[in-house]
Amino acid sequence: MRQTMEHNNHCYLPTYDACYVCGQEHPSGLRARFFVGEQDHVFVRFIPLATQTGYDNVVHGGVIAALMDELLGWVVVLKTERMCFTAEITLRYLKPITTEKAYVGDAGPCIDRKRYWESQGKLCDSDGTTYAKAHGKFFLLSREQTTVVVDGMTFRPDDLPVLSGVRSNGGART
């Protein structure tokens, strides 16, 4: 079963079909849906699958790194209205993340360091126990590069209309 979101009061972010993390059409991806919460935070609900484990029902650290990387990056994108790429990401795994439970990632806010942007986040279970913490540094894409990426994104009717000022096609695929 793929991860699902049951948060009615949150605005979802668009996706990019070829992305391993958020691509809803990616054949082996996570198909995660990120959403905006309060106070410049971005969230994701994650229910790991058995196919995402390294061994003994423990999710592979690379899967968690990819999820946290995108989560942290969205905080920067929303603040700057520019897409970004990761310069550095540091993760601290505090407890084994297993396929037996649901987790929520929470990231924000971000900090402008002039040459790059920083954000941080964590992955917790429903009891609030933290399983992983992440800190990332991100470089912004140019406005032109952002337009190319955004024009390839899929915006669903209920998605937050982010980055509308950089879309060349007046909206992207739906």
Going by pLDDT thresholds of 50, 70 and 90, the confidence category of residue 83 is very high
Q: Which residue has the higher pLDDT, 33 or 170?
A: 33
Q: Which residue has the higher pLDDT, 158 or 139?
A: 139
pLDDT in the model for residue 2: 34
Please determine, for residue 37, whether its predicted confidence score (pLDDT) is greater than 60.
Answer: yes
What are the residue ranges spanned by the domains of the chain?
A: 11-166
Please determine, for residue 144, whether its predicted confidence score (pLDDT) is greater than 60.
Answer: yes
Q: What SS3 state is found at 54? A: strand
Q: Which segment of 45-49, 85-89, 167-171 scores lowest on mean pLDDT? A: 167-171
**Distance (Å, rounded) from C-alpha 110 to C-alpha 13?**
17
**Distance (Å, rounded) from C-alpha 17 to C-alpha 166?**
19
Q: Which residue has the higher pLDDT, 10 or 105?
A: 105
> Please, what is the average pLDDT of the chain?
91
pTM of the full structure: 0.91
Token code pair at residue 100 = 């037996």
* Mean pLDDT of the 130-146 span: 97
Please determine, for residue 169, whether its predicted confidence score (pLDDT) is greater than 90.
Answer: no
| Residue the block writes with tokens 């992983």 | 132
pLDDT in the model for residue 28: 93
Q: What is the CATH number of domain 11-166?
A: 3.10.129.10
Q: What SS3 state is found at 18? A: coil
Name the percent of the chain lying above pLDDT 90: 82
Looking at the DSSP bridge assignments, the partners of residue 29 are none
